[in-house]
Amino acid sequence: MTASPSALIAIDWGTSNLRASLLDAAGEAIETRAAPGGVMAVKDGRFADALLSLCGDWIDQRAGALIASGMIGSRQGWKEADYLGCPAGIGEAAARLTRVDVLPGVPLHIVPGLTCRNADGQDDVMRGEETQMWGADLAAGSCCVLPGTHAKWAWLGEAGQVTRFSTYMTGELYGLLTQHGILGRLMAFGHAAPQAFEAGVRLGLAQSDNATHVIFAARTAGLMGRIAPEGLPDYLSGILMGIEIASATRTERPLEVVLLGDDGLCERYAKALALAGIASTRAADGATTRGQWRVARQAGLLERAP
């Protein structure tokens, strides 16, 4: 049985990682490659070289049109792509792709990010997560949570449009506090401590309005011997996650959310959400490439592919 001919090179290019998938005309992956060549690792703007080193053979063979999403379209990326105001869906994104040339006559099309202004009057932005959601087959009215360095809580309208979203720097805060702050001095890493995690979540949920105070409990609980060094990382993780969930659900509390992202993080969020009385389900794998393929199809890139 011969493989289906390729039609699209779909590129997920984030802050720390680069992944390229060769897709057929139905959006199914023929081959996927990855490299630790995220946007922040590319020196002197040599993005074309980084991409060619990963999948230059596909490009030389004109294996398909090229589309990318993620931080590659940020101000720190190859070329800054537009932000679409919410509500926004696949059609709006397909009409506003940003083009850069990988080689003469070989364009790469970058998916725009999204922006919205929340009820508190503050602006919010995302890049990459929107494409994931468009590939996740989310129902109208869904609340989708995308855990990560900058966790996103997003609400979907009709026809898969993202109507609004909020960002929480939970993952980045955890990294900064444990690696560059005093909280990490008492911690012993690499140990699972589910009871400490649960205690942290409950504290964060109950005291989210007192966030900078209760975060310090990840130090005092160690100093007073209430939590062992091996449990403190999970305790802090739980506190931060509880604060996030309480904040995200303060004005609108969903009965259920869809989790989209890394398996380990989604499992932790599912446990924390359950403690908050919120049910969760998991989105299917492969959402990013499905979303990229759907945007490319809407934009007519598949018809123009060689």
Same domain, 104 and 118: yes
| pTM for the full predicted model | 0.92
Quote the pLDDT of residue 63: 85
User: Taking the CB of residue 34, how many other CB atoms lie within 10 A of it?
Assistant: 12
Quote the pLDDT of residue 99: 97
Same domain, 219 and 252: yes
Domain range enclosing 55: 6-137+285-304
Same domain, 261 and 225: yes
Same domain, 239 and 255: yes
Residue 150 lies in a domain: no
Counting as low any pLDDT under 50, the low residues of the chain are 1-2, 306
Quote the pLDDT of residue 304: 58
Residue 75 lies in a domain: yes
Quote the pLDDT of residue 293: 97
Same domain, 14 and 131: yes
Quote the pLDDT of residue 3: 56
Same domain, 229 and 109: no
**CATH number (domain holding residue 196):** 3.30.420.310
Cβ contacts of 159 within 8 Å, gap of 6 or more: 89, 140
**CATH number (domain holding residue 64):** 3.30.420.300
Residue 157 lies in a domain: no
Same domain, 24 and 132: yes
Same domain, 34 and 77: yes
Same domain, 190 and 275: yes
Same domain, 34 and 129: yes
Contact (Cβ atoms closer than 8 angstroms) between residue 118 and residue 85: no
Residue 158 lies in a domain: no
Same domain, 252 and 264: yes
Quote the pLDDT of residue 2: 44
Quote the pLDDT of residue 159: 80
CA gap 193, 203 in Å, rounded: 16
Residue 185 lies in a domain: yes
Same domain, 210 and 272: yes
Domain count, the chain: 2
